[in-house]
Amino acid sequence: MTELTELGVAAIRDGVAKGDFTAAEVAEAFNANVAAAQDALNAFIVATPDKAIAAAKATDAKRAAGEALGKMGGVPIGMKDLFATVGVQTTAASHILEGFVPQYESTVSQKLWDAGAGMLGKLNLDQFAMGSSNETSYFGNVISPWRRNDGGNAPLAPGGSSGGSSAAVSARLCPAATGTDTGGSIRQPAAFTGITGIKPTYGRCSRWGIVAFASSLDQAGPMARDTRDCAIMLEAMAGFDPKDATSLDMPVPAWEAGLSADLAGKTVGIPREYRMDGMDADVAKSWDDGIAWLKDAGARVIDIALPHTRYALPAYYIIAPAEASSNLARYDGVRYGLRDLPDGAGLQDMYAATRAAGFGAEVKRRILIGTYVLSAGFYDAYYTQAQKVRTLISRDFTAAFEQCDVILAPTAPSAAFALGDNIDDPLSMYLNDVFAVPASLAGLPAMSVPAGLNREGLPLGLQIIGRPFDEQGVLNAGLAIEQRAGFAAKPEKWW
C-alpha cells in the first residue's frame, strides 16, 4: 500500500469510503508529518492533532453506521490562519491578534467540517495576507520544502500570502489546504511549490469569518496536489451565504463530475501584453509548452489584447491598501486582540500605541498608503482614478472573452526566490503578482497548475483565467495541462 501521506483528497475520500484504510489512520499519518516538519518549515502557527483525530473518528463511526461521509469525508486539511475557528487561536499571522480565540466559525471552514474534513492545524501566512513570500508573518518565515539543484541549500520562499498552505501541501503535511487570494495569494504560492490552486469567481466563497484585507478582492479557494482535488474541495467551500453581502446567490456546480480534458471547440486566448521584455526564458518556455498542450487537447489558440494590463498592479496598490486601511481600523485595543496602554495614556494614545506595537512594517506601510490615498484632497486623484482604471481592466477581459473561452498566461514572472531577496524593496516584491492581479481586479476565476521545473529544478506554474462563474472551464483547461505536463516532481525530503 502507498504511504497514506502520498495520497490526495480524492484518493483519501475514496479509500476511506471503500474501507482500504480508516480516516483515523490517515489523520495520524498526517499529524506525524506535521509534527516532524514544524521546526524546519514553520508551516503551521498552531497544530491541532486532536481536532484531526476527532473528525476522523466521526467519519469512521459514520461509515460503520452506513451513513454518507460527505464530499471531504475523512480528509484532514490545513486551515490558513485567516479563517476564524471556534476555540482555536486565529491570528492572521499578526501580533495584534495573538491570543484571539474566535467565538464563531467562518462559513467556509464550517462547510468543510460539515463535508467531513478535519483540521490538522492553522497555517502560517503573510501578516494580514500582505506579502508574496511569507516573510511578513509575526510568527516567523515559512521555509519552502523545495531547494535549488545547485546544492547551495539557500532557504527559498514558499510564496505568499498563503505560504504555509503551499509549503504544507507540497511537503505532504496535508493533502490540501485552504488559501485566500486578494492579488495572487493562492496562485503565486501554488506556482512556487509545484501544487494546484484555484481562486473562484468573486462571491463564490463566503467571506464571513475570514479576517478582512481588501474586501472587494478577497476570495477563498482550495490548494491541493491536482485539479480534481481542487474541484472536490471547492465544491465543499463554495455556496451562498446570507451573512456575506457580496455572496453569490447561485447553486454550486458539480465541478468534479464535470471535469473533462477534451477542449475540442474551445478557444484559448494568449494575452500579448503578458509577454514582457526580459521575460525569464524558462517561464517563456513553460508558457509555450502550455500552448502546445492545450492545442493537443483540441483547443484553438489565438492572440488576444488586454491593453490596460500594465496599469493593473499600480491600481491594485491603491485599491487594496485603501480597503485595508479601512478594514484594519477595527484593531483598536478595545474589543479584542492586543492592548498597549502606556502609563497615563488616554484613549487616542492607547489606539496609536496598540497599533504601533501590533502591526508589522508591511502592514503599517499599506495602512499609511491607504490612509493617504483616501484622505481629503487626494481621494479623486488616487482612489477614484484607480477604480476607473479597474473598470477598464475589467472591460479588457469582457472584450477578450467575446473571442476566447479561457486565457493562458504564466502565474508568476519567476520561480521561487531566496528568502531575503526582495524584502527590502517593496516594489520588487509587488512585481511578483504582475500576472495574478489583473484577474483579481476583475473578480474572475483563475487557477495555477504546475507546468514543469526550471533550470534550477524549481517548479513553474501556468495560470488559467476564465469568465465569471466558469470555474468549470478553468478547471478543465487546468486538467488538460496537468495530464500533458505529467508533473510528478516533489521536494526531496530534507526536514
Binding site residues, other proteins, CB under 8 A: 100-101, 103-104, 201-203, 216, 242-243, 245-246, 248-249, 308, 311, 314-315, 317-318, 325, 329, 332-339, 341, 345-353, 355-356, 359, 364-365, 367-369, 371-372, 375, 378, 381-382, 384-392, 394, 426-427, 441-443, 468
Catalytic site includes residue 394: no
Catalytic site includes residue 266: no
- State in angstroms the smallest separation of the CB of 1 from other proteins: 42
Among candidate residues 161, 162, 165, 448, the one labeled active-site is: 161
Q: Cell 478535519 identifies what position?
A: 118
Contacts of 218 by beta carbon, 8 Å cutoff, 6+ apart = 129, 180, 181, 182, 207, 210, 212
CB 159 within 8 A of CB 166: yes
- State in angstroms the smallest separation of the CB of 346 from other proteins: 6
Catalytic site includes residue 185: yes
Among candidate residues 80, 122, 199, 266, the one labeled active-site is: 80
What is the maximum span of the chain, computed from C-alpha positions, in angstroms?
A: 72
- State in angstroms the smallest separation of the CB of 446 from other proteins: 13
Contacts of 159 by beta carbon, 8 Å cutoff, 6+ apart = 132, 133, 134, 144, 166, 188, 189, 190, 191, 192, 193, 412, 416
- State in angstroms the smallest separation of the CB of 353 from other proteins: 5
CB 225 within 8 A of CB 175: yes
Nearer to other proteins, 184 or 443 (CB): 443
Q: Which residues are catalytic?
A: 80, 161, 185
